Structure 1
Amino acid sequence: MRTFRGICQEAGIEGLTIHGLRHFFAAFLLAFGENPKVVQEILGHASISLTLDTYSKVLPGLKERAVEKLRGFLSLSRHEN
């Protein structure tokens, strides 16, 4: 723990905890499209629902991106017929 604090101090980062770093890491992976099952396994969670319940709610724009993907799919489907 002292090593982590020392690294943060040298980098000029205040208030970051190992738990906060873990939270950022998981949210970052999910935000950039990593498979939730992979994130679950990396974090060592017993269930994928714990991973998703904990980290997906902190990601702004998830609903909007899902709607945009659906719009794109529907647009492609119309052009193919």
Structure 2
Amino acid sequence: MTKTTRVQLELAERSYERLNLLKDKTEATSYAEVMKNALRLYESIIAQHDAGKRLCLRNPDGQITEYEVFC
């Protein structure tokens, strides 16, 4: 059994709407699942950034643009 800790969040209306939208778009079963996935992604991006790597996006035409996460 994994030990868990309960966390209560207070979100602005817009933040709650965004959380709800992400839950629907990703077909997550709970807000906790959305938050866990977001934390994994954020942690990974930070680790890659710390290793000197940069996140780039490619548009449908093939043009690549660096996405500046930490300006």
Q: Which has the higher helix share?
A: 1
* Structure having the higher Rg: 1
State the structure with bigger RCO (CA 8 A, min sep 6), 1 or 2: 1
Q: Give 1 or 2: higher strand fraction.
A: 2
* Same fold at TM > 0.5: no
